[in-house]
Structure 1
Amino acid sequence: MKSEELFEKAVQFIPGGVNSPVRAFGSVGEIPRFIKKAKGAYVYDVDHNKYLDYVGSWGPMILGHNRPEILESVIKASESGLSFGAATAREVEMAEFICENIPSIEMVRMVNSGTEAVMSAIRVARGYTGKDKIIKFEGCYHGHCDAMLVKAGSGVMTSGVPDSAGVPVGCAQDTLTGVYNDLASVQRLMEENEGSVAALILEPVGANMGLVPPKEGFLQGVRALCDKHNVILIFDEVISGFRLGFTGAQGFYQVVPDLTTYGKIIGAGMPVGAYGGKKEIMEMVAPLGNVYQAGTLSGNPIAMAAGLTQLKLLHKRPQIYKRLEELGEKLFGGIQKILQECEVPCTVNFIGSLGCLFFTEEIVVDYTTAKNSDTKLFSEFFKYMLGHKIYLAPSQFEAMFISYAHSEKDVDKTLDCIHKYFK
């Protein structure tokens, strides 16, 4: 059955024909490609098309698809059973490994997704501080829990829905929204709500409104303001964690958060997440403390096996990150040169192996400047690239992800295609 036929069937039984809005191709005038398999830097659809992949399951496939060591660990672990709903040695090993190698994390709790990690971290911060209000930033996406669907990024930006129906006013009334890269907006919110802000959460590198790095001093300024006003600082490293170096954005920028959330990269793409941080805060979590959070599948043995294998490979081989930075400079720096040569009014933001081409001549530093991008022009670009077997996220407001499996030849092919499009 082909992608078109599968989509026609899917819309009858699945809302919009997809199980996550970011998989929808409606905003680019296409139907989703139904993927059959993946290997290395490539994905293959049911129509036997082979695409060079810059989505990487939205980031976690940092080593490439179907890495042999990871596949072997999953097969071996599954032979003992898929789920126990009970404690296992492997989840203890995962927790120990993270705590020993991420300086800001003294205790960690496994969950099943980035959304669940964020939801839990916010609850813990509120329980620890006894305060209710949360500060987030326009364009930063922290999953689909009610309190975070306020001027969120990712699929919410793509669909043009500023908030979500079904979220009661009461769930979001304690969510305050700042402007990313604008310290004055943070200071104003904290002063206006003195004594009632439990936590500030942000993506240390904005990766759900396209790719928007922090301005120099922004993260350090946020840390200082949180200290001054006794506010818990939460870094959402679902995208940046273990990608911008092993210690993520907090290591890259040398800013220590109080709590950190992770997503599926710690499961090598399998359904998993985690939140962790200072011991005194994490000790609030049940059964030790009175902040309740639970999950039958948390610490699933198969996900732990896959994740440990990937994290240990990344930790053991720092040259992987050097290679990713080189490929990032080659690809995104190459795109910048093409735009200059062809005199195209577009902007490229990138850091390491993450980047984004914005169809706007403005410098993109926050949600507002990202939203000024021409999504119709992006749609035409996307369709051209897809037609030339290069698989990008079907949204102007998603990042491109490079994996260790990408080669210089792959990057050259991509740049050649982009050059021909703009020329």
Structure 2
Amino acid sequence: MPNIQQSQIDFDQAKKILPGGVNSPVRAFKSVGGTPRFFASASGAYVQDVDGNSYIDYVGSWGPMILGHAHPDVVKGVQETAALGMSFGAPCELEIDLAKLVIDMVPSIDVIRFVNSGSEATMSALRLARGFTGRDKFIKFDGGYHGHADGFLVKAGSGAATFGEPDSAGVPADYAKLTLTAAFNDIEAIKQLFAENKDEIACIIVEPVPGNTGVMKLYENGFLQQLRDICDAEGALLIFDEVMCGFRVAAGGAQERFNIMPDLTCLGKIIGGGLPVGAYGGREEIMRQISPDGPVYQAGTLSGNPLAMRAGLETLTRLQAPGFYDALEAKTTRLVEGLLAGCKAAGVPAVANQVGAMFTIFFTDLDEVTCCDDVSKHCDLAFFGRYFNAMLDEGIYLAPSQYEAAFVSAAHTDEDIDATMAAAGRALARII
């Protein structure tokens, strides 16, 4: 067992002045138990805690560290830019440079607006969809997390076609009724929702590669294309929330990988190279409805700040290197196959979902996991908690929840992959 005395001291102190001792709930380790590690530094594929313990990191700040932590070129770029001014609250040329690069990489984006987080991007895109269509209702999928705006914090009712119910205190029930929910991969539920809410639905918002239920793969062939077709037929917009999978599963995100063009795309995480940033963009006729061009208002003092723009430029430029994504996916596949082989050897039932450099190992007897209900009803969440803590003791940092994705970076080496598989074998031997 590693020494975590200082992390415990820090956590005890933090709980006195921060809700739960954290600034984002999953960090509190409530679903897995134990003491959250307080990190002091990070480099490449590794993070180091305040007690001096080092971990191979598969969280990567929840996705953005695709090049690895503290990539020298990204750090240098941010330092150079910071010396010239950290925020202007006014336009800067770096906004233009990053906008051009994103538009060049992401197939569906003609015009883009930078914001400060993925949550802000999805909230703004939803408002834009409502303003453009003149409709108030929208569809999201069970377990799909699109930030903490009121309308997104809704879970399904008793059936896939029922109105949502608030999933957080403080969300008005009347407001939540504008949110319609369905199970991911269930196209018939989508058709039913449109039939029951004719000419009232502004948009469907979907993670084309869900990551906040654990990674989900497309179960029904053509699911995303069917969403596209339904939106076209019903006069609704299709919004891809690629905050997590954007630039992660392909240079142009999931829309490039699956060749499906949404009307609007939400981005975050990788687009800022680890600094707080988000963006939403899409078809020009829609995006021109944003103020000051149009009547849909959205603003932000730090939007397009030079530090985030420079970090994003340095990161996205390096993702365009030939073979970058092939190599990243190959090492991810090797890791996933090795972890599954270790589970099989230990007699632990498990399946994995992987898309590109995102993956989740599920501890379940199911042959496949395709929706949020599969996780909540058929996966062994208690076992995952023991596995997580055993891996932490072995120096492997995974997301502290069965409902999250893991991420591989370009900085992970073959030796890191081998060490992770060996650690998993030791961890399983201790907990079965």
Whether contact under 8 Å (1:335, 1:348) holds in the other structure is no
Q: For the residues of structure 2 that align with 1:336 and 1:208, how far apart are their CA atoms?
A: 21
Q: For the residues of structure 2 that align with 1:29 and 1:124, how far apart are their CA atoms?
A: 40
**Cα RMSD (Å):** 1.3
Whether contact under 8 Å (2:266, 2:280) holds in the other structure is yes
**Code of the aligned partner of 2:301:** T
**Code of the aligned partner of 2:245:** S
How far residue 318 of structure 1 moved from its aligned partner, in angstroms, is: 3.3
Residues 205-354 of structure 1 mapped to structure 2, 5 A cutoff: 205-215=209-219, 216-315=221-320, 317-354=321-358
Aligned pair 1:139/2:143, yes or no?
A: yes
Whether contact under 8 Å (2:117, 2:279) holds in the other structure is yes
Give the corresponding residue for 1:186.
Answer: 190
Q: For the residues of structure 2 that align with 1:136 and 1:97, how far apart are their CA atoms?
A: 29
Give the corresponding residue for 1:127.
Answer: 131
Q: What secondary structure is seen at the aligned counterpart in 2 of 1:26?
A: coil
Give the corresponding residue for 1:419.
Answer: 425
Whether contact under 8 Å (2:112, 2:280) holds in the other structure is yes
Q: For the residues of structure 1 that align with 2:96 and 2:347, how far apart are their CA atoms?
A: 54
Identity of aligned residues (%): 49
Q: For the residues of structure 2 that align with 1:18 and 1:331, how far apart are their CA atoms?
A: 30
**Code of the aligned partner of 1:248:** G
The match for 2:22 among 18, 21, 24 is 18
The match for 2:174 among 167, 170, 174 is 170
How far residue 408 of structure 1 moved from its aligned partner, in angstroms, is: 0.8
Q: For the residues of structure 2 that align with 1:341 and 1:15, how far apart are their CA atoms?
A: 41
Give the corresponding residue for 1:380.
Answer: 386
How far residue 162 of structure 1 moved from its aligned partner, in angstroms, is: 7.4
Give the corresponding residue for 2:362.
Answer: 358
Whether contact under 8 Å (1:206, 1:214) holds in the other structure is no
Give the corresponding residue for 2:397.
Answer: 391
Give the corresponding residue for 2:61.
Answer: 57
How far residue 228 of structure 1 moved from its aligned partner, in angstroms, is: 1.1
Farther off after superposition, 9-18 or 409-418 = 409-418
Give the corresponding residue for 2:13.
Answer: 9
Q: For the residues of structure 2 that align with 1:347 and 1:103, how far apart are their CA atoms?
A: 32
- Report the number of matched residues: 414
Q: What secondary structure is seen at the aligned counterpart in 2 of 1:27?
A: coil
Q: What secondary structure is seen at the aligned counterpart in 1 of 2:232?
A: helix
**Code of the aligned partner of 1:414:** T
Q: For the residues of structure 2 that align with 1:339 and 1:388, how far apart are their CA atoms?
A: 16
**Code of the aligned partner of 2:276:** P
How far residue 151 of structure 1 moved from its aligned partner, in angstroms, is: 2.2
Q: What secondary structure is seen at the aligned counterpart in 1 of 2:340?
A: helix
Q: What secondary structure is seen at the aligned counterpart in 2 of 1:292?
A: coil
Whether contact under 8 Å (1:328, 1:351) holds in the other structure is no
**Code of the aligned partner of 2:311:** A
Q: For the residues of structure 2 that align with 1:173 and 1:379, how far apart are their CA atoms?
A: 34
The match for 1:103 among 91, 96, 107 is 107
Q: For the residues of structure 1 that align with 2:428 and 2:395, how far apart are their CA atoms?
A: 17
Runs of 4+ with >6 A deviation: none
Q: For the residues of structure 1 that align with 2:231 and 2:139, how far apart are their CA atoms?
A: 11
- List per-residue Cα deviations over 1:169-202 (Å, max 9, x = no partner): 1221100001100110111111111101001000
Whether contact under 8 Å (2:58, 2:399) holds in the other structure is yes
The match for 2:406 among 400, 404, 417 is 400
Give the corresponding residue for 1:88.
Answer: 92
Q: For the residues of structure 2 that align with 1:318 and 1:144, how far apart are their CA atoms?
A: 37
Q: What secondary structure is seen at the aligned counterpart in 1 of 2:67?
A: coil
Aligned pair 1:33/2:32, yes or no?
A: no
Whether contact under 8 Å (2:394, 2:427) holds in the other structure is no
Whether contact under 8 Å (1:219, 1:255) holds in the other structure is yes
Structure 2-normalised TM-score? 0.94
Whether contact under 8 Å (2:166, 2:173) holds in the other structure is no
